[in-house]
Amino acid sequence: MEVQGFTGAAVEAGIRYTGRLDLGVIYSKTSCVTAATFTRNLVKAAPVLDSMALMEKSREFKAIVVNSGNANACTGKQGLQDCVAIREKAAGLLGCHEDEVLVASTGVIGAFLPMDKYLAGLEKACAKLSPEGLLQVSEAILTTDTRVKVAMREVENKGKTINIFGMAKGAGMIAPDMGPPHATMLAFIMTDAVVEPDFWQQTLQDGVDGSFNRITVDGDTSTNDTVLALANGMARNQVADGYGELSQQLADALGEVLQSLAQQIVMDGEGATKCVTVRIKGAQSFEDAKRCAQTICNSPLVKTAFFGEDPNWGRIIAAAGRSGANFAPDAVAIAIGGVKVVEKGLPIGEEAEKMASEQMKKHRFEVEVDLNSGDFDYSMLTCDLTREYVDINADYRT
């Protein structure tokens, strides 16, 4: 999984864990047009604030330094000073300017970074950069994840081959709500495409809205959610500026990478055994459809019913009813795993529910709620809520 000009490396810095990779570096030998989305949580981690400030001044960067085990969130001035120290150290090691380095973190909130260990690990990582090292970085960013999450797509246009490679982490504290610059979800995208900055930012935002912003594991939006997309132009294609076939090809490929990563996050949700698509149809407005989907997907009662393979549609319609969406309850139809269990707000019967329960034994299935009140649709991905999720999070800091 190589992209021209990009290298990476990861090391065991001992930031929180022992015996596992926890600090990574991504580097491009040429400057990259960079797009980003960050958490909209009012409480933002130091690396998010630092990166947002840098993005206001420039859209060209060469490196990302990322750690797991410590979020560097709620760490005040010290946390911001640590970000600057990391960027200065990385710049000296990589031979670039400190303002060309972005920092990201994931892990426990409210703990200061062990800077001696961090900077020593950073020096080791920068000394062993290689194209193959990018896969090591995808491992170093994991916290409660059980597997790495990567995706790649190729675009062919006028004799040029463009590669897009992405990595992500996330298993808990997953309900991303990310916008453009003005346990956590991180994603880093690398491409060798030549792109126009405004096109690249809008394309990333559109892609995030259709992927990461449509998933939830537990309804909690992190202080550290970050997506960074770096394009170094080494494919030497015509500039993708929002017009023509190439721009559409790139947008489609980026969207596919983001959607793949988002699905992998839900499928690796903490303790999850099910990955469920919740599809709302027939809403009066886009916002109504979105509210309805989000409320159903984040309902603990609905999610535990998924775990129990119980087609408890009463929990689903109750969640829809409290979502704030406007609809007629006696017009609602609900199908689980393709089996209709509710028509015009009334149960179809026990046989239908037995058939639906069989469908819920699958790892993946769909819940469709037709409000029959309008023309707007919205879909989201969620997972079940299990005993293991409780165990993981009860023991997270102990």
Q: Which CATH architecture has domain 6-267?
A: 4-Layer Sandwich (3.60)
> Quick one: pLDDT at residue 177?
73
> Quick one: pLDDT at residue 219?
85
CATH domain 275-394 topology: Ubiquitin-like (UB roll) (3.10.20)
Q: Give the pair of three-digit tokens for residue 113.
A: 């970074």
Round to whole Å and give the CA distance between 342 and 369. 9
For tokens 């149960």, the residue is: 347
Q: Give the pair of three-digit tokens for residue 187.
A: 């994603």
Active-site residue, from 7, 37, 75, 184: 184
The residue extents of the domains of the chain are 6-267, 275-394
Q: What is the dihedral of CA 177, 390, 69, 146, to 10 degrees?
A: -90
> Quick one: pLDDT at residue 393?
87
Any residues with CB less than 8 A from the CB of 300 and at least 6 apart, and which? 385
- Answering whether pTM is above 0.85, one says yes
Separation in Å, CA 387 to CA 53, 106, 222, 271, 272: 41, 24, 22, 7, 9
Chunked mean pLDDT (size 10), the chain, 398 residues: 94 94 98 97 98 98 98 98 99 98 97 98 99 98 93 95 97 70 80 98 97 91 95 95 96 98 94 97 99 97 98 99 98 99 98 99 98 98 95 80
For Cα atoms 37, 39, 40, give the angle at the middle one, nearest 5 degrees: 110
DSSP string of 358-396, one letter each residue: HHTTSSEEEEEEE--SSSEEEEEEEE---HHHHHHHHST
Round to whole Å and give the CA distance between 251 and 157. 13
Q: Are 79 and 44 in contact (CB under 8 A)?
A: no
> Quick one: pLDDT at residue 343?
99
> Quick one: pLDDT at residue 179?
65
Round to whole Å and give the CA distance between 222 and 283. 29
> Quick one: pLDDT at residue 2?
86
Q: Give the pair of three-digit tokens for residue 142.
A: 């994991």
Active site residue 191: no
